[in-house]
Amino acid sequence: MQPIISIRGLNKRYESGFHALKNVDLDIADGDIFALLGPNGAGKTTLISVICGIVNPSDGEVRVDGHDIISDYRGARERIGLVPQELTTDAFETVWATVSFSRGLFGKPKNPAHIEKVLKDLSLWDKRNDMLMTLSGGMKRRVMIAKALSHEPKILFLDEPTAGVDVELRRSMWEVVRSLREHGVTIILTTHYLEEAEQMADRIGVINAGEIILVEDKNELMSKLGEKRLTLQLEDTIERVPDTLARHELDLVDNGNALLYTYNANDKRTGINSLFRDLDSAGIRLRDVDTKQSSLEEIFVDLVKTPTPESTSGAQATAKDNA
């Protein structure tokens, strides 16, 4: 299927010379919730800003539903709704006025029925005649979403939608996002929170220092996160792993003083029980054991360090698949 957003060889160098996006290739499928995950300064807002036409790319190509963001700026832009990271609202306007006005900015004819629906979907209907300055932070954020949806975009960008939002509101935002997806809107959100990506996303892209280092199906990524390492400190040094233990795929480390076993804690059978039985039969005595969960960060580090065929960026793999 044709991706709704397609990015090839995108680079952004700011005037300061800072290289904020490095050869980004990325496809986002129509109807997906895509979470862009990355630390502060990774380039999330820059990437979104380029797609939305707010920041000029240095080179590369971006297409939004087939429309080039530069040669067909209007075609691309009218398909997009953006809720920026920094909230800006006109304090003295009413909810209804600000949302209706936003629609007008896109040259769309008035459609009170649509505005009404958006406000109802976002539980803002009761507040429609209230001044923005009288709303709570969470309500203001929902007004920003209503504004972004006022011109019926196919794609909604949410830059850190739940930063500084309490747990309850965060959950209600997730509900809003899911219901938008059910209405066919493609959603791209940025977040620092792995939990948020886990709850919301169909696919997760990880960006670090301007590079997309991984794009993967959420479920696959989460199963990788279940990966654990069991370190077995040995009483006596061994030279090699005994053949009777071959099926456990152990690594001998620490100059023969420790064995390393990798397993997935989410699996029904981790193989730990049979491993211990076989160690005992092999006469290997343990001094200590230790388990460690691989964090998302470690997964990133591994991916960056040792590019294997399947990990040389899912982004490129999808790029080829869709070429």
Ligand X SMILES: Nc1ncnc2c1ncn2[C@@H]1O[C@H](COP(=O)(O)OP(=O)(O)OP(=O)(O)O)[C@@H](O)[C@H]1O
Phi and psi torsions of 98, nearest 5°: -70, -40
Residue 11 near residue 23 (C-beta atoms within 8 A) = yes
Binding site partner of 314, from ligand X, Mg ion, none, Cβ cut-off 5-8 A by kind: none
* Per rule CB under 6 A, count of chain residues that contact ligand X: 13
Among 45, 100, 162, 318, binds Mg ion (CB under 5 A): 45
Stretch touching ligand X by CB under 6 A, among 39-47, 73-81, 99-107, 290-298? 39-47
Please identify, using beta-carbon distances, which residue of 20 and 230 lies nearer to ligand X.
20
Q: Applying CB under 6 A, does 273 fall inside the site for ligand X? A: no
Please identify, using beta-carbon distances, which residue of 18 and 101 lies nearer to ligand X.
18
Binders of ligand X among residues 91 to 110 (CB under 6 A) are: none
User: Minimum distance from CB of 48 to ligand X (Å)?
Assistant: 8
Stretch touching ligand X by CB under 6 A, among 42-50, 74-82, 220-228, 233-241? 42-50
Q: Applying CB under 6 A, does 57 fall inside the site for ligand X? A: no
Q: Applying CB under 6 A, does 208 fall inside the site for ligand X? A: no
Q: Applying CB under 5 A, does 49 fall inside the site for Mg ion? A: no
Q: Applying CB under 6 A, does 45 fall inside the site for ligand X? A: yes
Among 6, 10, 27, 43, binds ligand X (CB under 6 A): 43
Residue owning tokens 């747990």: 167
Residue at 160: amino acid letter? E
Stretch touching ligand X by CB under 6 A, among 3-11, 13-21, 105-113, 288-296? 13-21
Q: Applying CB under 6 A, does 16 fall inside the site for ligand X? A: yes
Stretch touching ligand X by CB under 6 A, among 43-51, 102-110, 231-239, 315-323? 43-51
Q: Which residues bind ligand X (CB under 6 A)?
A: 14, 16, 18, 20, 38, 40-46, 85
Q: Which residues bind Mg ion (CB under 5 A)?
A: 44-45, 85
